[in-house]
Each structure stands twice: as C-alpha cells, then as structure tokens.
Amino acid sequence: MRAVGGPDVAVGDVLLSVENVSLSFGGVKAVSDVSFDIRKGEIRAIIGPNGAGKTSMLNVINGFYQPQKGRITFKGQTRAKMRPHDAAYGGIARTFQNVALFRGMTALDNIMAGRTLKMHANFFWQLLRYGPALREEVEHREHVEEIIDFLKIQEIRRVPVGRLPYGLQKRVELGRALAMEPELLLLDEPMAGMNLEEKEDMSRFVLDVNDHYGTTIALIEHDMGVVMDLSDRVVVLDHGNKIADGTPDEVKRNQAVIDAYLGVAH
C-alpha cells in the first residue's frame, strides 16, 4: 500500500486508492491520469462542473467501466480489471444519479434485493421456499426492517417504488445500498432534484450512516453548501483531470477550482 499524501486529516488507513486512471470512449477522454485515495471512515466528495468525469470515475470504482490505464487498490488488493459483481462482493455499494430501482417491486423487496449476496440457500431449497431458504428469508428480513426504521420509511414498505415520489425513491435506493452492509458506499448525486427539506434529511442520513455503521462514503454532489458541510476531504475534477484535492476549506480557496467553476478570462 502506498503512503498517503495530502493534508493531515487522516481518519484511518487507505481503503481505496485510484492511481493514474485513464478512461476514454473512442476518442473522448472521460478521465485522464487521475489519482486519489479514500480513507477508512471518511466522507469523501468528488466535485466538478458538468462533464468533469465524476460519474465515470464512480463507474470505474464500481466496475461498470474498465479503465484503459491505471490501477485501483481496494482493501490492499490491486486489480486492473473488476466486474460489478466482484465490486459488490468486495463490499462496494452504490446509488445512481437518476435513481435505478426495481420499479415493479415494493420498497421492501428492493431493499431485500440488496441482501442478495448475503443469502446462500441453494436453488432447490429456494424453489421449495422451505428449510434453509425460509430461515434465511426471516433472518435477513430482520436486518432489512432495521434499515427501514433507520431511514424512516416504514409506511411505504409495501408500495411499488415506481409510485413513490422522487425523494423517497432516493431513500429506498440508499436503503438497498445499505442492505449490502458495504465498506465503501458510493453516492452519485444523492441530493439532486430535491427540495431543501429533503436535502437536509438526506444529509442527515448520510452523516448517520457514516457515524452509526462506520461506513466509508464517497459522494458526488453539485450543491456546494452540502459538500462543504458533509465531507472530510474533497477531490475536484475538471474535464477529466484532477485539479485539486484537500479539505473543503483548502479546495474553496484553490484558484484552479474557482476558475473551473466561475470560468476564466482567456
């Protein structure tokens, strides 16, 4: 594991480090030569203007995209390639920018789906829904009910998620990610499209998850106020390049960041 650079706000050891990652689609460079790390227990924000490569970065970490260059080290294991299944298995959970839920299923079933990898009863017991399969269902249901209580969505647990308002859908999606008991939780714009009250709720949940479960969180967010309040450290991307990395205060004062956001006279 390489030494941790940067400001001394270490919360713990490095959980995930991204080294010199480049990703392009055809001729379009989405991410070029980006390195940063995420430490155990911290809330790490990834910010940047539109098209900066934030979501691409998340997709690389979670195995949806394979970077052409660079390495990713997660829990001390370095890999060039990873499939989404391996990422989920290793303890990386995520939410999506435009909510990707199982729309036809109830909130409860959606969150139960997050337990998929924790359940092991084989196909034939499942077909019968008896013996080990039934025991397992009950056991995992308890855990899921805890998450439902935690997110305060008891009254909507039987509602197909397609019918829920956007803010609640985002909460169910967070619940599904939490059900995986992740070590690293990736949130892609968890507050996008929310009103002030919903944003405050969601911010509280993010902080509570970090406190209560000790989950490391990496989040993409546009609302600067939210980012500055929530995160321990911030990495700033612009046009696929890293332009700053540090505490919220440092980043705020960084001239490159100000230029990227406000534009600069050429």
User: Which residues of the shown chain bind other proteins in the complex (CB under 8 A)?
Assistant: 62, 64, 84-85, 88-89, 93-94, 96, 100-105, 109, 112-117, 119, 121, 123, 126-127, 129, 133, 136-137, 176-177, 180
For other proteins, the closer of residues 119 and 256 by Cβ is 119
Nearest distance from C-beta of residue 137 to other proteins, angstroms: 7
* Cα gap 196→75, rounded to integer Å: 36
Interior angle at CA 239, CA 202 and CA 37, nearest 5: 60
For other proteins, the closer of residues 4 and 117 by Cβ is 117
Nearest distance from C-beta of residue 54 to other proteins, angstroms: 17
Distances 7 to 11, 91, 150, 218 between C-alpha atoms, Å: 11, 27, 33, 17
Rg (CA), the chain: 19
For other proteins, the closer of residues 45 and 111 by Cβ is 111
For other proteins, the closer of residues 103 and 212 by Cβ is 103
Nearest distance from C-beta of residue 128 to other proteins, angstroms: 8
Structure tokens at 84: 């989404």
SS3 at position 30: strand
Q: Are 207 and 200 in contact (CB under 8 A)?
A: no
Nearest distance from C-beta of residue 190 to other proteins, angstroms: 14
For other proteins, the closer of residues 110 and 203 by Cβ is 110
Nearest distance from C-beta of residue 144 to other proteins, angstroms: 12
In the chain, DSSP finds a helix count (H) and a strand count (E) of 10, 10
